[in-house]
Structure 1
Amino acid sequence: MRACLITGYPGFLASRLVEAMMEQNLWDHYGLLVHPLQLETARKKVKHFSNVTLFASDITVEDLYLSDHHRVWMQEHVTHVFHLAALYDLAVPLKAATAVNVIGTEHINQLVRTLPRLERYVFFSTAYVSGERTGLILEEELDRGQSFKNHYEATKFAAEQRVSALSDVPYTIIRPGIVVGHSQTGETVKFDGPYFIMRFLDRVRSLPIPYIGTSQAFFNAVPEDYIIKATLCLAHAPEASQRAFHLTDPNPYKSKDFYLLICRELLGKEPTWTMSSTIMERALSFATIRKLFKVEREALHYFGCMTTYDASGAIAILEKYGITCPDFKDYAPKIVAYYKHHRKDRDKEISVT
């Protein structure tokens, strides 16, 4: 029996990944490492599947809460491991981010090295391990002495360092851009990242709409279905072993144009004036303003990142299998329509403090 082990379930991308794996019948069995607090939710999602085993596990604990019996099963059957469990909050405190993103990854690394049938270890990083760097960022680059905008970036960088040091493990590192909903349905689990734009525009819809700043930076958004297809392809491609890949938009829009497309779709009108990004950032330093607009201050930084991400390595492999990243203008109507239909859904809101 060939089995796949996934962490981070029932999180958004992990859930989508498992669904795609099952649709394609890629493995005989699926082992899901689930935090004890998420176990009941996970049980409900997989109750109709007979080829799924849930392992109550905390990756911040050295033994992962796995019994000897569990470990023997993994050693006998697991061929692929997908490590998605992480704290993705841009405002996450350092201690929590380190425990999950760094120490948790070290524990999964230790587990991976005990699996004799392992064919691939897929680690989900982020394109933003580039931190405060500017200019062109290459896939084969990681440590260039960069600083970071937040603890999320810093700890994902530290985690990726640890994975890329596994010289005896066939790993593949996935570095997505900012993930948005499905390009065909618009569906997403949480309204974060670029959805903060929509939250803001909702609040000011009756006023003259401003642009925020004059930056010429690019905003790199990618739909979740592209991430899933690309990840599963790279997980099986022999030439993807011991390499990192940017799953980013090869033709991103400038932040200003990205904002304009959303504004047209959401409000049916265009911005008419420009607000200083500095003023906006200062305003968001106050909790009352953040809560009013439902926008995290840290999210602003990603609209002014003067970086471009080279994805030539990923593209060279993915194009062989007919996988390409959709153009944002083609799926923006789906993304915005889904938001409009679900914007009052409290389960999709991000808590802003």
Structure 2
Amino acid sequence: MAYFVTGATGFIGRFLVSELVDHRDGPVFVLCRASSLPRLETMIQQWTHGSGSSRVVPVVGDLGQPGLGVDPEWVAEHAGKIDHFFHLAAIYDMTADDATNDAMNVQGTRYALELADGLQAGCFHQVSSVAAAGDYHGRFDETMFDEGQPLPSPYHRTKYESEKIVREESTISWRVYRPAIVVGDSQTGAMDKIDGPYYFFPLIKRMRDNLPSWLPLVGVDLGDTNLVPVDYVAKAMDHLAHLPDRDGEAFHLVNPEPQPVVDMINSFCSAAGAPRFATPIDRNVTAGATGLLPRALRPSSLFSAVVRTAPAHLLLDQTLGRLGIPAEVVGHTSFPSVFDSKATEKALAGSGIAVPDLESYARTLWGYWEENLDDTTGRDKRTRSALKGKHVVITGASSGIGKVTALKVAQAGGIPVLVARGKDKLEETKAFIELRGGQAYAFPCDLSDLRAIDDLCARLSTELPSVDFLVNNAGRSIRRSLRLSHDRFHDFERTMQLNYFGAIRLIIGLMPKLHQQKSGHIVNISSIGVQTNPPRFSAYVASKAALDAWSNVVASEVVGHGISFTNIHMPLVRTPMIAPTKMYDKFPTLSPAQAADLVIKAMVEKPHEINTFAGNAGAVAHTFAPKAAFRILNLAYQVFPDSAAAKAKAGPSEAEPAVAAVPPAVAETEGGRESEQILMARLFPGVHW
């Protein structure tokens, strides 16, 4: 098999090429402008997993040129050798104008057909969209196309017209794929642009940051929408393209169960920790009454008609537009059509390819957006002023808080200097930053090895023009009670080695450079546990408290040289470090992006400490009512058990005996204990119980 793909560097195209490389044999030729070859080479390394394979071959051309601008000699050489021609290059943007849509979607399709004909390709695969159905009201199945449906925008019109060109003008076999609204990868959340529901994410973030999550908000029924993750779309296309005897068919790559817009928004509100919307009147109650009205007078029709008018656009641009939500998007939040996908589902039967439920991956999508696509940091003038051109050394930069902090620093124009043990992950983060036009350095180092830290300091001091900020983020957490630690003194040694000795060795090693500069700011990621003293964290809290105390003493010695410190008493953060403690899955936690925002704040404002309300409350309680505080902590010690990992590593004398079955009374007790755990976690949010 041999393949030709247009739009391979686009969102869906990248995933499709990855599927072809991983699951099919033969070369994959990808169209690319000459100016984009360096970027494509980076993607080829990702597609081939750095193997140096030559299976993905760039073909220089241009979507805006006849025959896609491909060299006629190349076409003649490969004529009759391309089995599948996938045409994905197009504009997928509701806000694009008529001219852009026509040039990319309509004329681009005609040029792609011209090239496919010259190549005598086996089958032309057109990636269309459910937008081709326009404002058709009712059930729209895969056999339907030209139903006299209204086409309310340039995007809808050109999707319809490009599909019509394929149906009527193609001289070779064809298949059409109509995805619904495509969102990020359901496994990783990967997305490359703001589109569809992502336009509403900044508003959800603002709600999360300014309103309590328990506050109910009044919503309205805005009809139904339809979302599918890009990995489903790519897998389905790959499978459907290779089925025999399906030429001349269209396939709906949609969720078989349309989702109310309010439910979709609430899924992302829950993922973000923002308040949710409730609709006071259920649609089942109003369906009977509205069904008697002419379609044009029904609430959803009236809403769509009004928001698409020029006065409404002007109003929306001055309101929601300031939050990054284009007026054009508001008018198309729901579909009047219900997309029937029975034929597609039947064709996919037995393949294991199906649309996952949004609830199962909404948090993944939100997390990726918050960590990679949210541009709030880059747009803040004060942050850019403080970080632009500055070298920021970040330890533990291969994942979690450190990685997201690096991305935010780069977004603000800073230069992250990535430090962690894993070289491959550092290089991935560095490449990601550079692909987005940023600059970064990677310095692999085992921060539990003091000699390795000395070598790192020497390199940083000589290879960097300056060290403007140091973020001590790398750390080790151990959750184990004293009764299970009698034979594990090394837990305390290794925690202190990384969290305390490693951190101060790095600071001391860089001090000559900071003194020479007469400037520098050090941010220590400490813990809320230093203020609250939660049980089972004696090794971890002691190491963080030691770093706090050391920094407080040294700060008074170096402040006259322009060197300062910030200790962030970080609450519980959803990072790989807490992943082994499964009960934390139900606890309120900060996202890595929220934690990174605190780190950015520490660098911009340079306060002595950054604390949370819960942390300050714990510190006050220990100062003014220590006996009561320790009684509450002892209650927590009784309520929250040692983890299974802690018991397993404690040895047979300390671990609890296994039982064959859980009696009903015990199961009821465990259920009550879980309720107590969740209650305490919500009363004292962010504490490491």
Residue 319 in 1 paired to residue 349 in 2?
yes
Residues 227 and 255, structure 2, Cα contact 8 Å, conserved in 1:
yes
Partner residue, 1:331: 361
Q: Indicate conservation of the 8 Å contact 2:76/2:119, yes or no.
A: no
What amino acid is the match of 1:136?
R
Q: Distance in 2 between matches of 1:203 and 1:81?
A: 44
- Residue pair 1:32, 1:53 contacting (<8 A) in 2 also: yes
What's 1:83 paired with? 87
Question: Does 2:252 align with 1:222?
Answer: no
Matched residue SS, 2:176:
strand
- 2:54 maps to 50
The 10-residue stretch of structure 1 (332-341 or 127-136) with the greater mean CA deviation from structure 2: 332-341
What is the distance in 1 between the residues matched to 2:39 and 2:218?
40
In 1: Cα distance, 2:117 partner to 2:265 partner = 44
Q: In the superposition, relative to structure 1, how do residues 80 and 273 fare at CA in structure 2: closer, same or farther (>3 Å)? A: closer
Residue among 29, 34, 52 paired with 1:31: 29
Counterpart in 2 of 1:98? 102
- Which stretch shifts more, 329-338 or 3-12? 329-338
TM-score by length of 1: 0.89
Contact kept in structure 2, 1:97 and 1:152, CA below 8 Å: yes
Measure the CA separation in 1 of the matches of 2:148 and 2:260: 26
Q: Give yes or no for contact 1:229–1:323 (8 Å, CA) kept in 2.
A: yes
Q: Which residue of 1 aligns with 2:148?
A: 145
Unpaired runs of at least 5, structure 2:
46-51, 281-298, 379-410, 412-434, 437-689
**Which amino acid is 2:27 matched to?**
H
- Secondary structure at 1:326 match in 2: coil
- Could you say what secondary structure the match of 1:31 adopts? strand
Count residues with an aligned counterpart.
344
Note the alpha carbon deviations across 1:143-187, whole angstroms, 9 max, x for none.
112222311111111000011124642211000000011112222
> Partner amino acid for 1:128?
A
Q: Distance in 1 between matches of 2:246 and 2:80?
A: 24
Contact 1:172 1:234 in 2 (8 A): no
Tell me if 1:67 matches 2:66: no
Q: CA deviation at 1:188?
A: 1.3
Maintained 8 Å contact 2:19/2:234: yes
Q: Distance in 2 between matches of 1:242 and 1:305?
A: 25
Indicate how the Cα distance of structure 1 residues 212 and 88 shifts in structure 2: closer, same or farther if over 3 A, else same: farther
Larger Rg: 2
2:70 match: secondary structure: coil
Q: Distance in 1 between matches of 2:237 and 2:196?
A: 21
Q: What amino acid is the match of 2:32?
A: V
Q: CA 1:343 to 1:210, structure 2 compared with 1: closer, same or farther past 3 Å?
A: farther
Code of the aligned partner of 1:298: E
Q: Does 1:8 align with 2:7?
A: yes
Q: CA deviation at 1:285?
A: 4.4
Residue in structure 2 matched with residue 341 of structure 1 by the alignment: 371
SS of 1:154's partner is helix
1:199 aligns with 2:202: yes
Question: Does the 8 Å contact 1:127/1:177 carry over to 2?
Answer: yes
Against the structure 1 CA distance between its residues 262 and 220, is the aligned structure 2 distance closer, same or farther, given a 3 Å change threshold?
Answer: same
Distance in 1, matches of 2:239 and 2:179, equals 14
Q: CA deviation at 1:333?
A: 2.1
Q: Shift of residue 82 of structure 1?
A: 0.5
SS at match of 2:350: helix
Compute the displacement of 1:14 (Å). Answer: 0.8
Structure 1 residues 285, 18: CA separation in 2 closer, same or farther (over 3 Å shift)? Answer: farther
**2:273 is aligned with 1:270:** no
Q: Is the 8 A contact 1:89 1:152 kept in 2?
A: yes
Greater share of helix: 2
SS at the partner of 1:123?
strand
User: Which residue is equivalent to 2:256?
Assistant: 250
Higher relative contact order structure (alpha carbons within 8 Å, sequence separation ≥ 6): 1
Distance apart, 1:339 and its partner CA: 2.1
- 1:65 and 1:193, CA in 2 relative to 1: closer, same or farther beyond 3 A? same
* 1:21 alignment partner in structure 2: 20
How far off is 1:311 after superposition? Answer: 0.4
Aligned CA-pair RMSD: 2.6
Change (3 A) 1:331 1:244: same
> How far apart in 2 are the matches of 1:219 and 1:67?
43
Tell whether the 8 Å contact from 1:10 to 1:38 is kept in structure 2 after alignment: no
Please say if 1:156 is aligned against 2:159. yes
Whole-angstrom distance in 2 between the partners of 1:114 and 1:178:
33
- SS of residue paired to 2:270: helix
Residue identity matched to 2:148: G
Q: Once the 2 structures are TM-superposed, how far is the Cα of residue 271 of structure 1 from its aligned partner?
A: 2.4
Q: Pick the aligned partner of 2:182 from 166, 179, 197.
A: 179
For 2:161, the aligned partner's letter is A
Q: Which amino acid aligns with 1:52?
A: V
- Residues 220 and 279 in structure 2, CA contact (< 8 A), matched pair in contact too: no
Q: Report the CA distance shift for 1:135/1:57 in structure 2 as closer, same or farther (over 3 A).
A: same
**CA 1:74–1:23: 2 relative to 1, 3 Å:** same
C-alpha separation in 2, matches of 1:204 and 1:290: 14
Task: Give distance in 2, aligned partners of 1:86 and 1:75.
Answer: 24
* CA displacement at 1:22 relative to structure 2: 0.8
Hey, what's the Cα distance between the residues in 1 that align with 2:185 and 2:205? Answer: 22
- Report the identity percentage: 26
Residue 78 of structure 2 aligns to a residue whose secondary structure is helix
Kindly indicate whether the alpha-carbon contact (under 8 Å) linking 1:209 and 1:273 is maintained by their aligned counterparts in 2. Answer: no
The letter for the 2-side match of 1:77 is K
1:342, distance to aligned residue in structure 2 (A): 2.5
**8 Å contact kept, 2:207–2:274:** no
